[in-house]
Structure 1
Amino acid sequence: MTIYIFLLICGVSSMTRELPFGLMLGVSRRRYYLGTALLVLALGIAYGLALTVLQALERASGGWGSSLHFFRVPWIMDGPWYQTWVTSFVLLMLFFLYGMWYGLVYRRWNVIGIVSFVVAQMLVVLAVVAVVTLTHDWTAFGHFFTTVQAPALTGVLAALSIALGLGGFSTIRRAII
């Protein structure tokens, strides 16, 4: 979990602190964003592979000799090695791109933008809660999350990562430096 939070913070930092430096070197906003996203893609592949190898070592050693499960998170990263690798990769990309978008919102609209961004996300969650409550479908809502398979959830998170990447790409166009 620590690596995901670390990448979230690195995503914010890459847009708030390193973006002005990149622009001073003559790189355009779009190229900086695409280059950073490409770097994160490579890091996601490497870190996902490292997490997969560590999970394989954990399984081979019987949970480090103590039945511990640090890298094998039950249900979501409990499948074969390739499923673990893809899920780790998608989660790493998701957290970094989410952090990048937060950094871009701050860079473009400052504190008012961040507050509005957080409020908008809360409103979306409240709208989902209101719809589920009004339709009296909490059982179906819970059933969905208890029966969804890990690869399907990984696919949904991958689509969310793509949406976050496109949202950040559209936000950087007018980011103020």
Structure 2
Amino acid sequence: MTTTAAPRVPPILTVARYLLLDRVTYLALPWLWAAFAFGLDVVILQLVPDDHSAQRWVGGLLAAFAVVFVLGIQTVARALPFGLALGVSRRTYFLGASALAAGLAGCFGTVVTIGQLVERGTGGWGIRMAYFRAPGVLDGAWWQTWLTASAAFVLVFAYGMWYGLVHRRAGLIGTVVFGAAQGVLLTLLAAVVTWTHNWLRLGHLLATSPIAAILAGLAALLLAGGLVTVRRLQI
């Protein structure tokens, strides 16, 4: 009698399954915060005077992205050492985490797209609230919304993983310096744009550029850089 060996699970899938052992954190927490922010937006719009605009945007959906950023940090800073105990390489772990982020991003984009359709159909939930529609960013056709929301999810997750990489390599002080350096750089860039009087030109450039492609490109750069960096990381 012969026995058939069980099919070997790809290492990348093993990493994704390992991370999803914490289902509440990866699958529920972003949406719990998004639901809380939705209710908070409703309360805010009921309290503030109605400006009679076509869309009343508060920005509650950003709460979900804040959680996604923290998830990215945790995926490397906290879960990486235990993940390596599975016998996978640092490169495989990072690819598995990135694949999980891409899968979650597709689901996130789908929920945002459906939410946007319902939001439009109900006149902004009866109060002209733009929760799933961010002016100029998430306010186009359904496929544009899906692509933009999905790309933004991966970008924020990858950005969080970079903070996790820095924390594992340089500790808390290095992480603070990393964040402060970005703040200084953004301040200098804003100063240059101000001194050259190019805010209108920059705004026009961003308004006419494919946002989804820009976000996807930035996410790809962060993931590629992270893949190189994690291979040299000491645990």
Matched position secondary structure for 1:149: helix
- Where 1:70 maps in the other structure, the secondary structure is coil
Which deviates further from its counterpart, 143-152 or 45-54?
A: 143-152
- TM superposition shift of 1:132: 3.1
Q: Which runs of 4+ in 1 moved over 6 A?
A: none
Could you tell me which residue of structure 2 aligns to residue 137 of structure 1?
196
State the structure with bigger RCO (CA 8 A, min sep 6), 1 or 2.
Answer: 1
Residues 1:147 and 1:166: Cα distance change in structure 2 (over 3 Å)? closer
Aligned length: 174
- Secondary structure at the counterpart of residue 113 of structure 2: helix
**What one-letter code is carried by the residue in structure 1 that aligns with 2:177?**
S
Which residue number corresponds to residue 9 of structure 2? Answer: none
Q: Is the 8 A contact 1:7 1:96 kept in 2?
A: yes
150 and 65 in structure 1: CA distance in 2 versus 1, 3 angstrom threshold: farther
CA RMSD of aligned residues (A): 1.8
For residues 109 and 41 of structure 1, do their structure 2 counterparts lie closer, same or farther at Cα, with a shift above 3 Å needed? same
Check if 1:79 corresponds to 2:140.
yes
Secondary structure at the residue paired with 1:100?
Answer: helix
Match of 2:160 in 1: 99
Work out the CA distance in 1 between the residues paired with 2:215 and 2:69.
Answer: 15
1:158 aligns with 216
2:149 is aligned with 1:88: yes
* 1:24-173 equivalent positions in 2, closer than 5 A: 24-133=85-194, 136-138=195-197, 140-146=198-204, 148-149=206-207, 152-173=210-231
Structure ID, larger Rg: 2
TM, length-normalised to structure 1 = 0.89
Q: Which runs of 5+ in 2 are unaligned?
A: 1-61
Structure 1 pair 175–147 and aligned structure 2 pair: CA distance change class (3 A): closer
Cα distance in 1, alignment partners of residues 80 and 233 from structure 2:
10
TM-score (norm 2): 0.69
Which structure's residues are more often helix, by fraction?
A: 1
